[in-house]
Amino acid sequence: MSASFEAMSASQKRSFQGAYLRYLKSRDGVPDRDARRFDVRERFFAEVDAAPTCWVGAAPVDQRVFDRNHALRRPEEGLDEVTLWALATAKTNRAERYGVEYSITHEAAPADAPNDPHTYIQIEEFYHTRILKDALAALGLTAEVHEPSFFTRVMVRAMVHLPAGVANVAVLSGEIVGVTIFTLLLEKARVLFADQPAALARIEQLFAQILVDEVGHVHFVRSQLGPWQLAASRRLVPVVLRSLVDDIPELERLFGWERLYAHATAADVDAAAAACPDRFVVPAA
């Protein structure tokens, strides 16, 4: 069984909570929930902004084609893989971003937000939107943040109002699917942009930030669940994946359902960030 679905003992959960909070404080810095930012993470983006990466030669995606298809429920037929990759990248985090925005707006702030890992996780999702926009900028594209489909919005809102013990079953599945999608998009980028080393290096740098965060999110949610909840979450992964693919059909065009399903159900999330020196390592039992 994947470690993502292994239940932690009570002592492991206590050890995890303390270690993960210390890690978040070191990696992100002081959280500002109202501004949706961290002081330490802002330094990373200051460096990115100070050294923009420009695509060499003609832009690989037509901005007008991208904008037109970004606004469509389903993309036009005949789009090449680079355009599909750009569209999928622009859409991938919008459900989580919408959910976090809705949650912050409709829930009271934690009594001790700077010491609540959930505060950090919420703000990290806002950074992921920024990261993906920067990744598209490496291709010479600009992208606005759109809302997910109506069905996705309804489901996300419902989850926000469910008891945590119930909602986290689906949240864990969603986090695992997220790791799957970001991993596959990065692998595809390595193929598509192999002849553009500067742009690819920037994309690698940016996606590593997301993958490190997302793997941490998986283990945090896992630490909130018991054996039966973890078993239910595992069975829910294909359902969550299908919902995401229905909302972002570019993913199925790029990878095919079989490959998406195989990666998501394998749930080897730790491998996704194994090469990142700043990743969170779950304390040993």
63 contacts 55 by C-beta, under 8 angstroms: no
| Domain annotation covers residue 4 | no
What pLDDT, on a 0 to 100 scale, did the predictor assign at position 256?
96
Distance, CA of 11 to CA of 57 (rounded, Å): 56
Which residues are bridge partners to 38 per DSSP?
Answer: 31
- For 32, the enclosing helix (H) or strand (E) is strand 31-32
| Domain annotation covers residue 249 | yes
Rounded to two decimals, the pTM is: 0.92
Distance, CA of 25 to CA of 33 (rounded, Å): 14
| Domain annotation covers residue 127 | yes
Give just the sign of the alpha carbon dihedral 13, 14, 19, 24: positive
- Residue (of 190, 203, 193, 211) closest to 53 by Cα position: 203
Q: For residue 38, give the 3-state DSSP assignment.
A: strand
49 contacts 63 by C-beta, under 8 angstroms: no
Helices (H), 113-256: 117-137, 150-161, 164-192, 197-222, 227-247, 250-255
| Domain annotation covers residue 284 | no
- Residue (of 181, 189, 93) closest to 133 by Cα position: 93
Domain span at 116:
20-272
What pLDDT, on a 0 to 100 scale, did the predictor assign at position 268?
84
pLDDT in tens, the chain (285 residues): 467 898 999 889 989 999 999 999 999 999 998 888 999 999 998 998 898 877 899 999 999 999 999 999 899 999 999 999 999 999 998 888 888 888 888 776 776 788 999 899 989 988 999 999 999 999 999 998 888 888 888 888 887 777 888 889 999 999 999 999 999 999 999 999 999 999 999 999 999 999 999 999 999 999 999 999 999 999 999 999 999 999 999 999 999 999 999 999 987 899 999 999 999 988 876
| Domain annotation covers residue 281 | no
Q: For residue 281, give the 3-state DSSP assignment.
A: coil
- Residue (of 99, 64, 73) closest to 250 by Cα position: 73
What pLDDT, on a 0 to 100 scale, did the predictor assign at position 2?
63
What pLDDT, on a 0 to 100 scale, did the predictor assign at position 112?
79
Count of structural domains within the chain: 1
Q: For residue 94, give the 3-state DSSP assignment.
A: helix
264 contacts 237 by C-beta, under 8 angstroms: yes
| Domain annotation covers residue 280 | no
What pLDDT, on a 0 to 100 scale, did the predictor assign at position 282?
87
What pLDDT, on a 0 to 100 scale, did the predictor assign at position 285?
64
What pLDDT, on a 0 to 100 scale, did the predictor assign at position 142?
93
Q: Computed over its alpha carbons, how large is the radius of gyration of the chain?
A: 18
| Domain annotation covers residue 3 | no
| Domain annotation covers residue 14 | no
Which residues, in sequence order, are CB contacts of 212 under 8 Å at separation 6+?
27, 273, 276, 278, 279, 280
